[in-house]
Structure 1
Amino acid sequence: MPARTHDLPTRTRDSSSQCFPANNPGETFWQTTQHKLHDHRSTEQLPEHSDIVIVGAGYAGVSTAYHLVKDHGDVNKSIAILEARGACSGATGRNGGHARPDFYGHIPTYVDRAGARAGAEIAEFEINNLRALKKIIEQEKIDCDFTLTRSIDVWCNAEAAEKAKCVYDRMVAEGFEYMDDVVFYNGDNVEGICGVKGAKACASFTAGTMWPYKFIMHLVELIVDAGVNLQTNTPVTSVTADPEGGFIVETPRGKMHAGKVVYANNAYVSGVLPQYKKNIVPCKGICCRITVPDGVTAPLLNNSYINRTEDNVLSYLIPRADGSIVVGGAAAVFRKHEDQWYDNVDDSILIDSAKDYYNDYMQKTYSGWEDTGAKIDKIWSGVMGYSYDSNPHIGNVPGGNDQYILAGFNGHGMPVIWLSSKELAKMIIQDIPFEQTSMPRLFQTSQFRIDRALNGKTEDGDILGSGKFPATKP
């Protein structure tokens, strides 16, 4: 089914406009072959009413629908998903395929802000999320190249390596049991252990890699078969309270009525919830696939990586079974060019200042790759939702009964969303508060967090201020 671009309003981003996806996203490796339901519409017209309307058909929206259907199907609620473009056309279908929990990257910041237990909650939740992903992929027999592996953190700057060892020691001293899975290496053998030229320290722990688009689209098939009404190429332009109860959801294709609304549109959430404008900001990133010429055998990489160069440029990398490499990041390269990435929703074009960074990346970075002829096969950009304080916003929208948000993943949604959506589904169906879920306390959206961002200076937030972007994790 061709994309229905005639249904989409013209959407450009400036300081006064609303926040909506660009009409023409660039092609990614993951979506070279689009799924048959990519531009699916379950019914020719919008349903007049759905008990639950989900805004966004990416990882967050589709997972929430899956849990509503599979975990609470006996409640018999009608569900509709409205997606501005094709299913999984946003950040999930444009990321690096890295399901990597945060063991110590940003956890010390959370510990400093809210105490050791609050920091540990996040790490433990993300580790459990990885296990749950493995379980559901096996249970539903999802063909998405999922691999449980070791992820290798690498520091090539001596000072950064020393700081990393201090962080590691601090996390061990906190007594966090999950740190038993981490092995830290420094000394003369580091380069030989990780294979990265000039490495001064490295650490490893359990993580996962996958084909994210295939994972989500398999879930889309399951929920559509279960009766969820999917309406792609149908951007939600406004949601207003109906005086008679529920909500009026407006789109360029008409209006529909919703009993409850779930905002799962991540970077674009302020387009319909303007109070989140400074809380969740669209920020572009860059990612690419690297291949070697036919007939060339490159050294085997069994692990995923986070590499930090001597000048502290961070890249995340996964090896694929077909011999190719997916790598992205390089935020430090384009950080100073704010107009190219900050508050920018145009994923149809690359980030100009970083588009050439990954040329010869494997040859420059990994021992044994010098003569492989490895080169970029495809490169793309994606739009992530970065929050003011680096935590996602999940739960009841403050002051909005029967409205829920699951957004603001800071380029780190893969290790967070699956279990978060499961717990949010429980909140929606059982009408329980956030505190009765298993989600980390720092994930809860609140008026306090909203006001702090609205009243604070942009440079004081984590995106531009204390260093969450460039990301410490992919």
Structure 2
Amino acid sequence: MAPILPIDNPTLPFWRTELDELDTLRTTASLPAESDIVIIGAGYAGVTLAYYLLKQLGHETNTTTPKITLLDARQICSGATGRNGGHLRPDIYGHIPTYIERHGLDSAIEIAEFEYAHMQALKDLLVEEQISCDFNITRNMNVYLSEEGGERARQAYEKLLAQGVAVARDLHYTSAKNAEGISGVKGAKACLSYTSGTLWPYKLILGLLHRIAGSPALNVQAQTPVTAVTPSGEGGHLIHTPRGVLRAGRVVYATNAYTAGLLPEYAKNIVPCRGICSHIALPAGHDAPFLPYSYVVVTKEGGGGSYLISRPDGSIIVGGAHFTFKKEKELWYGVVDDGTLIEPTQHYYDDFMQRTFKGWEKSGAYVKEIWTGIMGYSYDSHPHIGQVPNKPGQYICAGFNGHGMPVVLLSAKGLAEMIATGKTFEETETRMPRVFKTSAERIHKAQTGPEGGDILGK
């Protein structure tokens, strides 16, 4: 299978309008000849994995061989992490009832609690490393514009409480009587809120990279695409790039949507899917009500809605609108082109704030930046974490379903523990959800099951 690589001329996301000095970092002018561990991909998963590995292994090195080499095809954090909605939104009720049916109550609770734990884990990390990335803890307001949608949310909420799901106690349901007044969304039929966070994801990742970039045990090579990974005759692996070949003892695929180009067995398990996001600003001299919450606005049409966060300056990041292009599969499914917009949706957000929120009608709000991003959707909705089956010394941390912000941090921490200590997936102190473990069984199920799995079923 040919490599699946990010394109060279992507659309410009708001998050990359203030570039960091490490954006195109190459620690050394030439590619190192060898490394103990090579991480492919320098987004959320790759950088946090390098951070936690250095904590586990130490920063010192006694030779000229770096312990860890971090590679990226484009600039640092130029993929899905640098193109997302800035929304740290754990799933504690949306898919959890489905997971209860599939995997049992205990496994579903593991997922909900793991995602919920990311808010405190990220907050603690930012304090420890003194990283400034506009992080804020707020309430995520899930607003339903149809009575049917609101009723389904109420039933899911009450069912989770009845089953004793502890994190569901953070949920607060508001019926149609007060939904519009509480949420500020016109025509709201119900809303359900819970604790969530917002942030500038690019600044998180580059801030974290600043804390480790000076380590003699780390070599970072941006703009270095990996075209193949092959066995080395001396043991280990050969990492092939246009800039040369790097020998590695172990290799980690933090490649998300681009995984199948290097691990073809995952072609049916992790599929690249394109989405759209935008930054909405106010003209000079115009005002609008500040939105104190983050949002998911679920449309009457079904098939999803829009996710939204408020920025500290009063501007808005909003994206999604999958229902506007879902039926045109060729526009998003299996697509790695983040250099063009999605035609049916490119003007959807032009007057979104005016038509959606009370008090924004005369705001003059306009789309300042709009971009696309490539997400890695998994066949069964769960990421693949752990040792690649039948490939000793190879690991994967990918397939985050456009939902990586409340999943990646602790997944990378757990995988770092596995790599550094030799512990199994089940033995790690991070206690990753069992269904996240990559396996031959999961790979086979995607290869033999209906096309798309959960991806096309959503």
After TM superposition, the score normalised by the length of structure 2 is: 0.96
Residue 141 of structure 2 corresponds to residue 149 of structure 1: no
- The aligned residue for residue 456 of structure 2 is 464
- Post-superposition shift, 1:17? 4.4
Give the partner amino acid of 2:12.
E
- The aligned residue for residue 128 of structure 1 is 117
Is the Cα contact below 8 Å between 1:35 and 1:217 reproduced in 2? yes
CA displacement, residues 131-161 of structure 1 (integer Å, 9 cap, x when unaligned): 1001111111111000011110110111111
Residue 350 of structure 2 corresponds to residue 359 of structure 1: yes
Cα distance in structure 1, aligned partners of 2:78 and 2:344: 24
Cα distance in structure 2, aligned partners of 1:220 and 1:67: 11
Give the partner amino acid of 1:59.
Y
Residue 371 of structure 2 corresponds to residue 380 of structure 1: yes
SS at match of 2:117: helix
Aligned CA RMSD, in angstroms, stands at 1.2
- The aligned residue for residue 442 of structure 1 is 435
- The aligned residue for residue 311 of structure 1 is 301
Is the Cα contact below 8 Å between 1:122 and 1:440 reproduced in 2? yes
Give the partner amino acid of 1:194.
S
Residue 445 of structure 2 corresponds to residue 452 of structure 1: yes
Give the partner amino acid of 2:445.
R
SS at match of 2:140: strand
- Post-superposition shift, 1:38? 0.9
- Post-superposition shift, 1:75? 8.0
- Post-superposition shift, 1:42? 0.7
Q: How many residues align?
A: 450
- Post-superposition shift, 1:40? 1.2
2:55 corresponds, among 70, 78, 98, to: 70
Segments of structure 1 that go 5 or more residues without pairing to the other structure are 1-15, 468-474
CA displacement, residues 146-193 of structure 1 (integer Å, 9 cap, x when unaligned): 001111011011111111111111111110111111111113111101
Cα distance in structure 1, aligned partners of 2:192 and 2:60: 46
- The aligned residue for residue 37 of structure 1 is 22
CA displacement, residues 341-360 of structure 1 (integer Å, 9 cap, x when unaligned): 11000101111111111111
Residue 214 of structure 2 corresponds to residue 240 of structure 1: no
SS at match of 2:307: strand
1:84 corresponds, among 73, 87, 91, to: 73
Residue 20 of structure 2 corresponds to residue 21 of structure 1: no
1:18-417 map, 5 Å = 18-73=3-58, 78-227=67-216, 228-312=218-302, 313-417=304-408
Is the Cα contact below 8 Å between 1:57 and 1:81 reproduced in 2? yes
Give the partner amino acid of 1:48.
A
Cα distance in structure 2, aligned partners of 1:154 and 1:305: 7
Give the partner amino acid of 1:55.
I
1:1-16 map, 5 Å = none
Cα distance in structure 1, aligned partners of 2:263 and 2:8: 20
Cα distance in structure 1, aligned partners of 2:248 and 2:323: 43
Cα distance in structure 2, aligned partners of 1:316 and 1:118: 26
Is the Cα contact below 8 Å between 2:153 and 2:192 reproduced in 1? no
SS at match of 1:189: helix
Give the partner amino acid of 2:9.
N
Identity of aligned residues (%): 52
Cα distance in structure 1, aligned partners of 2:22 and 2:451: 39
Cα distance in structure 2, aligned partners of 1:304 and 1:180: 19
Is the Cα contact below 8 Å between 1:337 and 1:353 reproduced in 2? no
- Post-superposition shift, 1:394? 0.3
Segments of structure 2 that go 5 or more residues without pairing to the other structure are none
CA displacement, residues 218-271 of structure 1 (integer Å, 9 cap, x when unaligned): 111122112310101111111111132111110011101001100001000111
Cα distance in structure 2, aligned partners of 1:93 and 1:229: 21
Cα distance in structure 2, aligned partners of 1:23 and 1:60: 21
- Post-superposition shift, 1:18? 3.3
Cα distance in structure 2, aligned partners of 1:18 and 1:278: 15
- Post-superposition shift, 1:33? 2.2
Is the Cα contact below 8 Å between 1:100 and 1:151 reproduced in 2? yes
Cα distance in structure 1, aligned partners of 2:270 and 2:454: 11
Residue 414 of structure 2 corresponds to residue 429 of structure 1: no
Cα distance in structure 2, aligned partners of 1:204 and 1:457: 35
- Post-superposition shift, 1:74? 6.5
Cα distance in structure 2, aligned partners of 1:87 and 1:322: 25
- Post-superposition shift, 1:107? 1.0
- The aligned residue for residue 3 of structure 1 is none
Is the Cα contact below 8 Å between 2:3 and 2:228 reproduced in 1? no
SS at match of 2:39: strand
Cα distance in structure 2, aligned partners of 1:70 and 1:57: 17
SS at match of 2:16: coil
Structure 1 residues 268 and 329: CA distance shift in structure 2, 3 A = same
After TM superposition, the score normalised by the length of structure 1 is: 0.93
Moved over 3 A (4+): 74-77
CA displacement, residues 278-301 of structure 1 (integer Å, 9 cap, x when unaligned): 100000000000011111111011
